């Protein structure tokens, strides 16, 4: 391939992982080009709450919360039943805190510890960080502003279509395509793939995640697995391709993600008949399957005015309130009528909860109640299950280097974000809350720094 021009480090993909990788490479002294397929960066990050988990952060220390990489690593291994790569898990557990502090202190991102996101769903400490009243789109816009301020070149509407190998176990450059069909060949010394996962590619999902092959997808259409496929064509190994984040609380028909705080503050799920069917606090991701198994693949979340107010600061809650989405009622029987459930069965659910709470024991679904159960004025929202993003991809080491099937690193190819295998184990049940962006930015920073180090080390003196 003849190159039109060359640049030391190319990052393919402008989501959180790619933007952070580019910032890290630039901070390390490399010249960087980031290519982004959309006219305006969007991707999986923009459809999220923008939250990430991290241990040992300055924000935690200010509040006297004892947490560190060892504790987060133990939580990752426990949640995944030790069925994730321990090297990668260690790198992310140890690197997440320094990465978040670097984003705050070096690049001005206003992340704070969200003390309202309780230690739950596998986290043993308060460690979920976010922006009050902001979303993943705000995070992405801020990161791209920093790219401009730090001198990273960004080309929008440039889709990666081919990777040129150098004939020696590495990458020579890439071919990108513009909306008008024109193409540019760009050489590089290091390539970082941050092109997203494959959740929008129905064929890949059915191949690798057959139990979610027909599930509704709630995510960016650009997550089509292209970077994963191109990396595999170069001899890269793939890992945990069956891993993904599912979620059982996508409001229907509004298509707004219900924040987990509605459950953590005391909400519960029932099916169309008014029966509970799961401990809602057990797993944030794997709950997708019990929801899909209900009549019509739908469920209802029951909460109250107190819970609604406790979650009022979350952007998705604001959206739902503006849409007047919740069905309200002043009694259990009225709520049952409003959602088409059996009043006696819905009342029995609440009775079971109250008896369990009073006795200090788990309820019939195994849930332990520390918060008040919903009471009048009741609210309910209809939900469906969906796949949000995949967690399997190119196998990397703890520095973001893509590994060949042999286990050896491909010389100058790196991956992060949805293109790379994460630390969620082989399925949906190993996902920790806020681990998606945590793994994306942590591995992004590691990959960016390593890509720059390689380039600088090979420069002529």
- The pLDDT of 379-397, averaged and rounded, is 98
- The pLDDT of 95-101, averaged and rounded, is 99
Instruction: State the pLDDT at residue 374.
Output: 97
Domains and CATH numbers, the chain: 5-243+391-457 (3.50.50.60), 246-387 (3.90.700.10)
- Whether the per-residue pLDDT at 133 is higher than 90: the answer is no
- Whether the per-residue pLDDT at 21 is higher than 80: the answer is yes
Q: What is the CA radius of gyration of the chain?
A: 23
Instruction: State the pLDDT at residue 132.
Output: 78
Residues 432 and 123: beta-carbon distance below 8 Å: yes
Six-digit token string for 461: 């003196």
| pLDDT tens-digit readout, 215-232 | 999 999 999 999 999 999
Lowest-confidence pick of 39-48, 282-291, 351-360: 39-48
| pLDDT tens-digit readout, 148-206 | 999 999 999 999 999 999 999 899 999 999 999 999 999 999 999 999 999 999 999 99
* CB neighbour class for 431 (10 Å; exposed up to 12, middle 13-18, buried from 19): buried
CA atoms within 13 A on the CB side of 15: 33
How much of the chain, in percent, has pLDDT values that exceed 70? 100
Return the axis-axis angle of helices 332-339 and 343-359, rounded to nearest 10°.
130
Cα–Cα distance measured from residue 280 to residue 289, given in angstroms and rounded to the nearest whole number:
12
* CB neighbour class for 28 (10 Å; exposed up to 12, middle 13-18, buried from 19): middle
- In terms of residues, how long is the chain? 461
- The pLDDT of 277-285, averaged and rounded, is 96
Classify 279 as helix, strand or coil: coil
Lowest-confidence pick of 31-35, 53-57, 315-319: 315-319
Based on DSSP, count helices (H) and strands (E) in the chain, helices before strands. Answer: 15, 19
- Whether the per-residue pLDDT at 411 is higher than 70: the answer is yes
- The pLDDT of 313-322, averaged and rounded, is 94
- Residue 43 banded pLDDT, cuts 50, 70, 90: confident
- Residue 461 banded pLDDT, cuts 50, 70, 90: low
Tracing tokens 């891993």 back to the chain, one arrives at 243
Cα–Cα distance measured from residue 378 to residue 212, given in angstroms and rounded to the nearest whole number:
32
Does the CA dihedral 83-411-198-444 come out positive or negative? Answer: positive
- Whether the per-residue pLDDT at 264 is higher than 90: the answer is yes
DSSP letter at 40 equals S
- Whether the per-residue pLDDT at 259 is higher than 70: the answer is yes
- The pLDDT of 240-261, averaged and rounded, is 96
Instruction: State the pLDDT at residue 131.
Output: 86
Classify 400 as helix, strand or coil: coil
Tracing tokens 């300055």 back to the chain, one arrives at 58
**Cross-strand bridge partners of residue 389:** 245
DSSP letter at 296 equals G
For 73, residues 6+ apart whose C-beta sits below 8 A from its C-beta are: 89, 90, 93, 94
């Amino acid at each position: 391939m003849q190159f039109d021009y060359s640049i030391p480090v190319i990052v393919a993909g402008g989501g959180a992982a790619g933007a952070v990788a580019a910032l890290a490479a630039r901070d390390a002294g490399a010249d960087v080009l980031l290519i982004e397929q959309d006219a305006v960066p969007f991707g999986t990050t923009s459809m999220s709450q923008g939250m990430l988990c991290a241990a040992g952060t300055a924000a935690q220390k200010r509040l006297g919360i004892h947490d560190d990489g060892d504790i987060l690593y133990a939580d990752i291994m426990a949640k995944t039943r030790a069925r994730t790569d321990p090297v990668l898990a260690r790198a992310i557990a140890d690197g997440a805190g320094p990465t978040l502090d670097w984003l705050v202190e070096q690049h001005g991102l206003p992340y704070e510890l969200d003390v309202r996101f309780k230690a739950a769903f596998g986290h043993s400490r308060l460690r979920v960080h976010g922006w009050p009243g902001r979303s993943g789109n705000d995070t992405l816009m801020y990161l791209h502003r920093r790219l401009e301020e730090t001198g990273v070149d960004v080309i929008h509407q440039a889709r990666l279509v081919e990777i040129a190998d150098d004939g020696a176990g590495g990458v020579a450059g890439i071919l990108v395509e513009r909306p008008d069909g024109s193409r540019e060949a760009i050489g590089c010394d290091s390539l970082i793939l941050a092109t997203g996962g494959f959740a929008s590619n129905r064929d890949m999902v059915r191949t690798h995640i057959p139990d979610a092959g027909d599930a509704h997808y709630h995510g960016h259409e650009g997550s089509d697995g292209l970077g994963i496929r191109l990396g595999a064509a170069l001899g890269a190994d793939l890992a945990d391709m069956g891993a993904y984040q599912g979620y059982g609380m996508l409001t229907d028909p509004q298509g707004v993600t219900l924040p987990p705080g509605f459950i953590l503050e005391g909400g519960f799920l029932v099916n169309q008949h008014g029966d509970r069917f799961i401990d809602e606090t057990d797993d944030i991701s794997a709950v997708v399957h019990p929801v899909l198994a209900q009549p019509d693949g739908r469920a209802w979340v029951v909460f109250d005015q107190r819970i609604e107010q406790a979650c009022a600061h979350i952007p998705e809650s604001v959206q739902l309130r503006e849409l007047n989405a919740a069905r309200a009622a002043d009694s259990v029987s009225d709520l049952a009528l409003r959602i088409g459930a059996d009043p006696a069965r819905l009342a029995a659910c609440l009775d079971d909860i109250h008896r369990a709470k009073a006795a200090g024991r788990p309820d019939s679904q195994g849930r332990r109640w520390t918060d008040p159960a919903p009471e009048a004025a009741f609210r309910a929202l209809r939900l469906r299950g969906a796949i949000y993003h995949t967690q399997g991809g190119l196998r990397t080491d703890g520095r973001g280097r893509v590994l060949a099937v042999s286990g050896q690193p491909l010389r100058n190819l790196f991956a992060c974000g949805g293109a790379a295998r994460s630390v969620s184990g082989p399925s949906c049940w190993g996902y920790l809350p806020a681990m998606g962006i945590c793994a994306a930015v942590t591995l992004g920073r590691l990959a960016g720094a390593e890509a720059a180090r390689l380039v600088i080390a090979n420069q002529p003196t």
